[in-house]
Amino acid sequence: MKKRIFSGIKPTGDLHLGNYLGAIKNWIALQDEYDCVYSIVDLHAMTTEYKSNELRENVFKIACNYLACGLDPQKSILMVQSSVKYHTELCWILNCLTPLSWLERVPTFKEKSQTQDENINMGLLDYAVLMTADIILYKAEAVPVGEDQLPHIELAREILRRFNSRFGDTFPEIKGIVGKGARVKGLDGTDKMGKSLDNCLYLYEDYDMLWSKISKAVTDTARIKKTDPGNPNVCNIYSLHLLFSSTKDLELIITGCKNAEIGCIQCKKLLATNISEELEPIRTKYYEFLNRPDFVNEILFEGNKKANLFAADVMDEVYKKIGIDHGFFKK
Ligand code: AMP
Ligand code: TRP
C-alpha cells in the first residue's frame, strides 16, 4: 500500500513561482510514489478579508492551475476543502485538545496579528488546527510544502500525538517534504515571494511580462558596472537560475559573472527565457482549462466524492474513539 500525501493552497489569488517551486512542482513529482490528495483550501482563505465572488472564481482558477501543472486526476484526488464537511468537524474535535498557548506561539499567527491588526479573527488563531484536521482526516503521512509551513506541520505532529495518546493509536506520524524551492525570494531580493507583496512572478505571465519585471529585479548590489566582477552567491537572479536553468547555462553564468564577461542584462534575459520556456506549456493548458468549466467541475465533483468517502470512514473511527457515537439522530 502506498503512503498518503495531503497538501493544499489557499485560493487567495493567482499562483506565483513560490507556490509552483515550493509546492506544486513537488506534488506532481510525488504522484506515482504516493496516494495524493491535493486540495484548494477555501476555508483557510476566509481568515483574511475576501469577496465572495472572488473566492468562488479563485477556487476554479486554482483547480485549472493544478491541472495545467500536471495534476493527474487518474492518479491523485483533486478536491475542495469546504466540500468535505468533516474538515471543520475534525477541527472542532482537535480544538478541544489544543492548548491556546500552542496557537499563540505559531509564527504565522504572530506575523498576521501585526500585518492585519484590524482583523485578528478566531480563524487566524485556529488556522494551524484546521490545517492539522486537513492532513490527518486522510491519514496522510507526508505533506509537501514550502519552508514557511514547517512550523504548522510541527504543531500538527503535537496535536495528533495528543489525540493518539488520549484515545488510542489512530493517526500516523506526519512529516513535511520540502524541495529545492523551499523558500523562493521575491524580485526585491529580500522578502519571500508572496501574493500580498508586489514581488511575484505569476504562472500565467508570458515572456514580455516576465522580462518587464525581471529586468528591474535586484541583483548583486555590489556590482554597479558591467565591468565589475559579480558574486552569483549573493544574487537572487542566480538563485532563480538554479531552479530553472541547465547545468550548461549555470556554468556560463558563474564564470561570466565572476569574470565580468557577461552583464546583468544578459544574465536576466537568459533567466526570463528559461522561466518562460518552462511555464509556456503550463500557461497554454491553464487557458484551455479555463475555457472548459464543465470538464474541470466534473473532476472536482469526482475528487470531492472520493475524498468524502475516505474521510467518512476515518470520522466513524474518530467519533467512536471520542465517545460520540450515540446514534440519537436517524434520517
Ligand atoms: P499559500 O499561497 O500561502 O497558500 O501557499 C501555498 C504553498 O506554496 C505552501 O506550500 C507554501 O509553503 C508555498 N509557498 C508560498 N510562497 C512560497 C515561496 N516564496 N517559496 C516557497 N514556497 C512557497
Ligand atoms: N497553510 C497552507 C498555506 O498557507 C495551506 C494549507 C491548508 C495546507 N491546509 C493544508 C498545506 C494542509 C498543507 C497541508 O500555504
Per-residue pLDDT reduced to its tens digit, 281-326 = 999 999 999 999 999 999 999 999 999 999 999 999 999 999 998 8
Using N-to-C axis directions, what is the helix angle for 52-69 and 293-322, rounded to 10°? 100
The verdict on the CB of residue 19 being under 6 Å from ligand 1 is yes
Rounded to the nearest whole angstrom, what is the distance from the C-alpha of residue 80 to the centroid of ligand 2? 12
Closest C-alpha to 160, from 177, 144, 175, 182: 175
The verdict on the CB of residue 6 being under 6 Å from ligand 2 is yes
Q: Which atom of ligand 1 is nearest to the CA of 44?
A: 4
Q: Is-contact 100 325, C-beta < 8 A? A: no
Which grid coordinates belong to 289? Answer: 482549462
DSSP readout, 107-162?
Answer: HHHHHHHHHTTT---HHHHHHHHHHHHHHHTTT--EEE--GGGHHHHHHHHHHHHH
Given strand 175-177, what is the order of strands in its sheet? Answer: 77-80, 35-40, 4-9, 142-144, 175-177
Ligand nearest to the CA of 10: 1
Average pLDDT for 232-257: 95
Rounded to the nearest whole angstrom, what is the distance from the C-alpha of residue 270 to the centroid of ligand 2? 33
CA 203 distance to own-chain centroid: 14
Identify the pLDDT of residue 128.
98
* Residues with catalytic roles: 112, 192, 195
The verdict on the CB of residue 58 being under 6 Å from ligand 2 is no
The verdict on the CB of residue 41 being under 6 Å from ligand 2 is yes
Residue 183, burial from CB neighbour count under 10 angstroms (0-12, 13-18, 19+): middle
Identify the pLDDT of residue 331.
63
Q: Indicate the pLDDT class of residue 20, thresholds 50, 70 and 90.
A: very high
Residue 330 has pLDDT above 70, yes or no: no
Identify the pLDDT of residue 222.
83
